[in-house]
Amino acid sequence: MPNQSILPACATGLAAALIALSSASTNLPAQAAPAELVQRAATAMGGADALRALANITIEFNSAAFGLGQEETPSSPARATFNFGRVVTDYRGGRRLTTQESRAVTGAVQRQRTVVTPTAAAAEVNGVMNSTGAGAMAAVAADIRAQPERLVLSALDNPGQLTAVAPQRIRGELMDGVRLNSEAGTPTLWFTG
């Protein structure tokens, strides 16, 4: 038979813990309105005027892709394929230039340049020019609309298209969500407090 003197103490401790948990969950800050969250994001990015004035962006990248487990022998050193390049996006003209070079583990080098405009697209691979189809133009146009600064501007311009999404923990941090119904699809934007 359990010790009668321990039961009241355990019940009191359990009740105190449950009350603390219930009050902790009700003390979470309320999520701001979707338009307010987007406005704060625009302000953090320099303001709506700065986002509208942004004519282009350039992204340079370097990467090393190791094929771990793909070595010739168990004692061979890990080797990598190296890629580097630049992507220039012209927001005003809806154009994109991508230049990249890939150096494979085997030593082969591939140089690629791709130019996409709203009306034409071409790719050059190792000096050989090829026309690309309408799918490439549509994909680049969709990608340009899906860039973070473009999504924030779209959300600012269309506050009626915003809906709140329940806060969610992402990598351990509680974030507020906003769903944007736009021509870029229905992306969900997540914001920290």
Pairing of strands 95-103, 80-90: antiparallel
Give the separation between CA 168 and CA 62, rounded to whole angstroms. Answer: 32
Residue 188 is assigned to a structural domain of this protein: no
Instruction: Pull the structure tokens for residue 180.
Output: 């944007």
Residue 37 is assigned to a structural domain of this protein: no
Query: Which tens digits make up the pLDDT trace of 106-148?
Result: 889 999 999 999 999 999 999 999 888 888 889 998 999 889 9
Structural domains counted in the chain: 1
Query: Which tens digits make up the pLDDT trace of 14-65?
Result: 333 333 333 333 344 567 899 999 999 999 999 999 999 999 999 999 999 9
Nearest to 139 by CA among 122, 155, 116, 123: 116
Residue 191 is assigned to a structural domain of this protein: no
Residue 101 is assigned to a structural domain of this protein: yes
Residue 172 is assigned to a structural domain of this protein: no
Range of the domain at 131: 55-146
Residue 96 is assigned to a structural domain of this protein: yes
Residue 85 is assigned to a structural domain of this protein: yes
